[in-house]
């Protein structure tokens, strides 16, 4: 049979449940803007009823615990999208800095190349004019400088990316260490059948930060999270983290090594690290090779013309440009080989005023280089490459940003804190608490009545 004591016990449980629910609401409101916070809900359950004399009496509510509302699938998608976005952003940042060098201006290679041919054309109308000869030398020097500047813009980006690789690896190591450290507490909580809660939030947030750096494969287990790089190099297993290392290659580029010293640079994809490596080793390397090829073949073609003619003093022409024997580094080191205006080989027959060889110089502009393109088209192709790569990186960055926003909306629709909702909950639980308290007061009054039964005052 129900007693006042058992009724009081039900009311106390009600107070506990309401307090617990208020606590959760309070915590949700407090963390509404905390990155990575997953909203919690209170788990209330009916207490087992008491059955006596065939009567089943409800025993009130039991506060079972708290549960974080997670969506592991969306969480994983966010990690993957973050990798893609950071990778695209790393490319975009570099390419945007490279792009101005290849934008038509008074100093770009295309303009300077035209200026050189214009100065040669002017010289052809008066081949012994020393001002015109000097103009050809200056234009040649300006073109060489434009090549040097463009090459420098590319290599300095590569240098910057080397630093980025080192920094990324050190951040990755720090993050994997922190993630590994959280695995044990998480495993302990789960062993006790509890929700991972705050610890899991923290760990997810760290994995997300790691995703921004490189692509990682995440496996959840009872022992916590296991992380490997996209290509399978272990990063975190249980409470153990495996640090990556960097080392400079013979050419000075930073290579990434795994714990055992194997070079895993080429297998790293995604994230800032993957994006930086790809930009450094593929994108910029490709552009640099195109630029070097152009500088080398153009220089060689000009030299061939210059050495087939005669200078103002009737001597056989010497090289116009100094270029290295190998293609690599040609754009960086191309420079004028002649400094004396009279050494321009204008003459085709050795007589001082002949301009026969200048037509051969002019022909370089419209003739195909060994690459199969005219110098102007080869440069236009390079401009196209830079523009297209930048535009693609930009498009990818924009697309991933939109998709990431969508995913975050999806996640926050599951795990996010709604202030309005929490405000409503607050009122609900406040009223529940008040009602339970009222029950306690009532029972107390009943106790008083009961205690005073049979005394004088009782009537």
Site residues, other proteins (CB under 8 A): 32, 39, 95, 99-100, 102-104, 110-111, 113-115, 117-118, 121-122, 124-129, 313-315, 347, 349, 351-356, 359, 362, 365-366, 376-377, 379-381, 383-388, 390-391, 394, 401-402, 405, 408-410, 412-414, 416-421, 423-424, 427
Reference 35, options 219, 235, 202, 163; nearest CA is 202
Q: How far is the CB of 268 from other proteins (least distance, A)?
A: 26
Q: Within 13 Å of residue 163, how many CA atoms lie on the same side as its CB?
A: 6
Nearer to other proteins, 405 or 435 (CB): 405
Nearer to other proteins, 324 or 356 (CB): 356
Reference 88, options 405, 408, 401; nearest CA is 401
Q: How far is the CB of 418 from other proteins (least distance, A)?
A: 4
Contacts (Cβ under 8 Å, ≥6 apart) of 11: 60, 436, 439, 440, 443
Nearer to other proteins, 262 or 398 (CB): 398
Rounded to whole angstroms, the Cα distance separating 153 from 389 reads 16
Nearer to other proteins, 118 or 184 (CB): 118
Q: How far is the CB of 214 from other proteins (least distance, A)?
A: 25
122 φ/ψ angles, rounded to the nearest 5 degrees: -60, -40
Q: How far is the CB of 423 from other proteins (least distance, A)?
A: 4
Rounded to whole angstroms, the Cα distance separating 292 from 379 reads 11
What value does the CA radius of gyration of the chain take, rounded to a whole number of Å? 38
* Residue 357 and residue 310 in contact, taking contact as beta carbons nearer than 8 Å: yes
For residues 430-453, b (16+ Cβ closer than 10 Å) or e, as one string?
eebbeebeebeeebeeeeeeeeee
The secondary structure of 266-282 as a DSSP string is GG--SHHHHHHHHIIII
Q: How far is the CB of 305 from other proteins (least distance, A)?
A: 14
* Residue 115 and residue 171 in contact, taking contact as beta carbons nearer than 8 Å: no
Rounded to whole angstroms, the Cα distance separating 151 from 331 reads 6
Q: How far is the CB of 366 from other proteins (least distance, A)?
A: 7
Nearer to other proteins, 98 or 336 (CB): 98
Rounded to whole angstroms, the Cα distance separating 156 from 153 reads 5
Rounded to whole angstroms, the Cα distance separating 217 from 229 reads 6
Nearer to other proteins, 380 or 449 (CB): 380
Backbone CA torsion sign across 423, 428, 429, 433:
positive
Nearer to other proteins, 224 or 341 (CB): 341
Q: How far is the CB of 333 from other proteins (least distance, A)?
A: 24
Nearer to other proteins, 238 or 350 (CB): 350
Nearer to other proteins, 248 or 402 (CB): 402
Q: How far is the CB of 355 from other proteins (least distance, A)?
A: 4
Q: How far is CA 247 from CA 1, 82, 261, 335, in A?
A: 79, 27, 10, 33
Q: How far is the CB of 59 from other proteins (least distance, A)?
A: 33
Instruction: Give the β-pairing of 50-52 and 40-46.
Output: unpaired
Nearer to other proteins, 12 or 208 (CB): 208
Q: How far is the CB of 303 from other proteins (least distance, A)?
A: 21
Reference 394, options 93, 77, 81; nearest CA is 93
Q: How far is the CB of 110 from other proteins (least distance, A)?
A: 5
Nearer to other proteins, 175 or 287 (CB): 287
| Count of all residues that appear for the chain in the document | 459
């Amino acid at each position: 049979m129900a007693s006042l004591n058992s009724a009081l016990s039900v009311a106390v449980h009600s107070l506990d449940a309401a307090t617990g629910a208020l606590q959760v609401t309070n915590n949700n409101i407090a963390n509404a803007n905390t990155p990575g916070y997953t909203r919690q809900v209170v788990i209330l359950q009916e207490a087992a009823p008491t059955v006596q004399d065939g009567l089943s009496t409800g025993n009130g509510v039991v506060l079972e615990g708290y549960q974080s509302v997670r969506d592991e699938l969306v969480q994983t998608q966010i990690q993957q999208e973050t990798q893609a976005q950071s990778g695209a952003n790393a490319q975009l940042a570099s390419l945007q800095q490279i792009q101005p060098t290849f934008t038509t201006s008074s100093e770009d290679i295309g303009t300077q190349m035209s200026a050189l041919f214009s100065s040669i054309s002017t010289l052809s109308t008066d081949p012994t004019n020393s001002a015109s000869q000097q103009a050809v030398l200056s234009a040649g020097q300006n073109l060489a400088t434009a090549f040097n500047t463009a090459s420098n813009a590319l290599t300095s980006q590569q240098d910057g990316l080397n630093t980025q690789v080192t920094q990324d690896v050190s951040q990755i190591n720090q993050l994997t260490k922190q993630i590994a450290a959280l695995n044990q507490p998480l495993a302990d909580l789960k062993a006790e059948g509890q929700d991972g809660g705050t610890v899991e939030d923290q760990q997810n947030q760290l994995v997300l930060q790691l995703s921004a750096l490189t692509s990682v494969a995440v496996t959840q287990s009872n022992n916590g999270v296991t992380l490997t790089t996209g290509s399978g190099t272990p990063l975190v297993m249980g409470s153990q983290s495996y640090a990556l290392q960097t080392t400079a290659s013979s050419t000075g580029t930073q290579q990434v090594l795994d714990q055992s010293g194997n070079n895993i640079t080429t297998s790293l994809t995604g994230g800032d690290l993957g994006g930086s490596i790809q930009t450094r080793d593929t994108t910029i390397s490709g552009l640099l090779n195109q630029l070097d090829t152009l500088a080398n073949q153009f220089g060689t073609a000009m030299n061939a013309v210059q050495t087939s003619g005669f200078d103002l003093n009737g001597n056989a022409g010497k090289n116009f440009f100094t270029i290295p024997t190998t293609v690599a580094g040609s754009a960086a080191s191309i420079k004028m080989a002649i400094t004396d205006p009279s050494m321009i080989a204008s003459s085709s027959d050795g007589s001082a005023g002949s301009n026969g060889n200048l037509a051969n110089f002019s022909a370089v502009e419209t003739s195909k280089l060994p690459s199969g393109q005219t110098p102007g088209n080869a440069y236009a192709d390079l401009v196209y490459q830079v523009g297209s790569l930048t535009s693609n990186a930009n498009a990818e960055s924009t697309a991933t940003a939109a998709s990431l926003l969508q995913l975050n909306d999806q996640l926050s629709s599951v795990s996010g804190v709604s202030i309005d909702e929490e405000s409503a909950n607050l009122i609900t639980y406040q009223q529940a608490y008040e009602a339970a308290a009222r029950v306690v007061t009532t029972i107390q009054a009943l106790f008083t009545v009961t205690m005073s039964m049979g005394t004088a005052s009782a009537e």
